[in-house]
Amino acid sequence: MRILVLGSGAREHAIILALRSEDSPHELYAAPGNAGIGENAVIVDVDANDPVSVTEFANENAIDLVVVGPEAPLVAGVADALRERGIPVFGPGRAAAQLEGSKTFAKRIMDAAGVPSGRAIRASTLDEVAAALDEFGAPHVVKADGLAGGKGVLVTPDRTAALAHAASFLPSGAVLVEEFLVGPEVSLFFLSDGDHVLPLTPAQDYKRLGDGDAGPNTGGMGAYSPLPWLSDLFGDENTFVHHVTTEIAEPVIRQLDSEGTPFIGLLYAGLILTEHGIKVIEFNARFGDPETQVVLPRLVDPLSGLLLAAASGTLEDQPRPAFADAVAVTVVLASEGYPQAPVTDRRIRGLDAAASVAGVHVVHAATAEQDGELIATGGRVLNVVAVGTTFAEARDRAYRALSRVELDGGQYRTDIALRVVEA
């Protein structure tokens, strides 16, 4: 197939690497891409957030499938424009993408579908925020209602900090104040064609910047898959996945369809396992980052066939995707100053040495070539992904490879997947 992938981060690079690994070769294009993506796909000069630009390129170049990576093009209506022209696209339309684009919309859908989540209060003024904080008590959870590039959520025991966070987003719209939920978190992806859903495999990511879950929330500093401890709680992973599929994913997809906004694409369920059962923390309308980097390397079935089936409305003809018994660990290398004020334009070296470690590949998140050298262009710069037969082996490979990468001021967590090795 001729496939266009929209996006410029590690998630998109991971998708392209999965497509590139298939037995049947594809012609892969990417916009806007990054330096690593450019080694595996043709970079094209297309504004990924412009429905007209994307649609014209896809039509003029006989693109068979468009895969939308990040959330911004979805909320901008890129998928709608492509569907109007009859071009298969993996990604929901603007209306359904509000499941991620608006926390208030997501809460309403969950309530209508009977899906369990934490209590939440929508606040439009600082006085309303203060009242909601006092009603729920500490720790405080404050979320921007709209898209915030992974920086819209604050969890803190400090009421003053919670108010300040809310104040920074209120000029742009309302915020949600939510009750604090306790328990391990799980990410689970679902492919949807608007009527049917197929689950992928669970993963766990690390949102906090520092070891031991210290520091500010980030876009994610690492992840691992599968989650062996789910067996202790549910008997086996399949029981957990079946429960989330039937009690959370399918009701949400049915509700969206009943409202005339079918969800076609990737439903990301951010879950928390509380003492009162599984609850939804958030939904996203696209593959998660960095969880995608550990889920796709374990996928046995061709990714292209699954994405096209979802885009074409034929998921019911597909078996549940299979995953290898291997384990995968990814560690994010971030720039100095991330997430508040990342220092960019610094030189990156040692990637070939890192990739020479057995079972390791490097996924680019924010890189570019400048004067013949690779430089960092953003906060999360790259991911080292390691696959092994055990978590100990995969962790050792990931950190051994990462030690060979040179980036002045670069920072990363040293405890990714440590809990499953020590368990």
pLDDT of residue 149: 61
pLDDT of residue 146: 76
According to DSSP, the β-strands at 65-68 and 2-7 are parallel
Q: Which ranges constitute the DSSP H helices of 47-158? A: 51-60, 71-75, 78-84, 94-101, 103-113, 126-136
Query: Which residue, among 196, 386, 420, has the nearest Cα to 294 in the 3D structure?
Result: 386
CA distance 82 to 90: 10
DSSP state of 323: B
pLDDT of residue 151: 64
The list of the chain residues with pLDDT below 70 reads: 148-151
- State the DSSP H helix or E strand holding residue 164, giving kind and residue range, or none if neither: helix 159-169
pLDDT of residue 194: 97
**DSSP letter string, 381-413:** EEEEEEEESSHHHHHHHHHHHHTT-EETT-B--
Give Cα separations from 232 to 156, 236, 239, 416, 423 (angstroms).
30, 7, 11, 20, 11
Phi, psi of 132 (to 5 degrees): -65, -40
Q: Reduce the secondary structure of 208-249 to three states and give it as a string.
A: EEEHHHEEEECCCCEEEECCCCHHHHHCCHHHHHHHHHHHHH
CA distance 200 to 179: 29
CA atoms within 13 A on the CB side of 17: 22
Residue 104 burial (10 A CB sphere; 0-12, 13-18, 19+): middle
pLDDT of residue 101: 87
Q: Are 376 and 328 in contact (CB under 8 A)?
A: no
The per-residue pLDDT for range 385-398, each reduced to its tens digit, is 999 999 999 999 99
The per-residue pLDDT for range 20-52, each reduced to its tens digit, is 999 989 999 999 999 999 999 999 999 999 999
Query: Which residue, among 217, 156, 161, has the nearest Cα to 185 in the 3D structure?
Result: 217
pLDDT of residue 104: 87
Provide the residue type at 381 as one letter.
V
pLDDT of residue 116: 94
pLDDT of residue 103: 85
pTM to 2 decimal places: 0.93
Strand partners of residue 323: 299
